[in-house]
Amino acid sequence: MQKINLDRSWEYLELGFANVLNLTSSEYEWKKVDLPHDAVIEKERSELNPSGAGEGYTVGCSLYYKKELILDEQWQGKNLILEFEGIMGIAEVFVNGRLVAKHFNGYTSFLVDITKHVKMVDKNIIIVRVENTHKPSSRWYAGCGIYRHVWLHIGGKVYIKPWHLHVQTRAIENETAILEIRAVVVNSVNEKVKGVIKFDVFSKEEKLILSSEERFLIGKSEEKVIAKTLELKPFKYWDIEDPYLYKIQATIICDESIEDSASTLFGVRTIEVNPNEGFKLNGKPLKLKGSCIHHDNGPLGSASYDRAEERKVELLKASGFNAVRLAHNPFAPAFLDACDRLGMLVIEEFFDVWHAGKVSFDYHLFFDKYWEEDLESTIMRDYNHPSIIMWSIGNEITWGVGVDVDDDSGYSIYSWCERLAKKVKSLDSSRLVTAALCAIPDDYKRLFAIIEEGNYVIRMLKQEADVIEDKWGEFSEKFSRFLDVVGYNYKVDRYEYD
């Protein structure tokens, strides 16, 4: 699908709940803004704000964004899909006064098919409501607003679904990279369609080095996965010293004319772990020199500018890091693109909370209903990034959870760990699954005592092993059986014993 950036020429309004049909009247004073936009960074802070120290004593916001969209006449009969990379707050999307989508996770991207809701001969009004007034809703500075890019995807009657052109290195044999290409093709018309999908692989220098075709027949209103195995020889590995990127372009041809196309970058690399040699990249042991970072850009707030995202990676590389863990949520595509280009390994984390919260209004309120949608959209969007080596299903999830419960109540931490890990593997079997472990409820009284004594950062949750009653060891063993790699937060004193 053709992809057009829609960041320019928006307007925004700070307002409580209102009828969107009335928002276009002259009584409202809209402010002009280009995206990405964080409305909170400009506001005064106060220790009286309920967000507290974790969110930097910031205020909450209730916002409306508006954009006029005039469609090109060449898009007549095309499929139109909006992509929001990230909206911090509970988001509602309206097109010409009609509610067409809701989204509840401020860190995950989402797609909105607007084909049936737009008009070709008149201007279209897109309004996005962002509700982020209930505080505290985060344990760190989060911002508020449409803080990442917005795109419009334009596809033919038969098109490649956004985020669904994937490349996986299946094996390396005799200096040949065995690639599996998968494209999800959508037929939007009410009849069967015959066609050809052409896969072209280009070098980093934009030279065509491999081409293959596959015929298909797709039923009316059907989604279909078209897979193809390609052999790339010779090839260059992607690694942290030479992050070599290929490009694949998929083109759909129907009745001898191009109906749709899509392209993505990818790298050829292998990853594995074992207890004796640790992590291996392209068959060679590699120690991860890692950092955990949050998504904000300091004085820019949470607004995700491409250069700011790239600069973060450059600074990490210059400081000697070769890996980063995304704390504690999916990041902007621009950050991952920079990791691909510059050679930075990534552990991408899905959630800071599951069904039990850490602050009053965080994602735990929506997790039960939307975890699967958010996990799937993240993996589909980020599948081709060679920099990503692990998916983390959670950060310190044991906060606020009775870990000794392992029953059918629906809130067993062990059953949820198994459920999430299996879901990740069903979507992506090529990467490792991890989770970051920290305290268990029995730690809390001890933690509070340490805090009262002072120096709690250094001594935080050390929990040395007790050969008689090793509660943390018992818990972590049961939890970790679903993981490929276990994350230890703060527990340096456990390393040698475990």
- Report the alpha-carbon distance of residue 376 to residue 425 in Å, rounded: 11
Helix (H/G/I), strand (E/B), else coil: 436: strand
Q: Are 73 and 135 in contact (CB under 8 A)?
A: no
Q: Are 63 and 87 in contact (CB under 8 A)?
A: no
- CA 333-8-58 angle, to 5 degrees, is 70
- CA 402-407-409 angle, to 5 degrees, is 80
Residues in the chain, total: 498
Helix (H/G/I), strand (E/B), else coil: 491: coil
Q: Are 191 and 290 in contact (CB under 8 A)?
A: no
- Please give the model's pTM, rounded to 2 decimal places: 0.94
At 448 the pLDDT is 52
At 401 the pLDDT is 53
Write the CA distances from 15 to 61, 131, 438, integer angstroms: 8, 10, 40
Residues acting as catalytic residues: 396
CA–centroid distance for 337 within its chain: 12
| Residues in the chain, pLDDT under 70 | 399-410, 439-468
At 456 the pLDDT is 44
Helix (H/G/I), strand (E/B), else coil: 339: helix
Q: Are 435 and 486 in contact (CB under 8 A)?
A: yes
- Report the alpha-carbon distance of residue 15 to residue 130 in Å, rounded: 10
The end-to-end CA distance of the chain, in Å, is 50
Find the helix packing angle between 471-480 and 413-427, rounded to 10°.
30
At 10 the pLDDT is 98
At 212 the pLDDT is 97
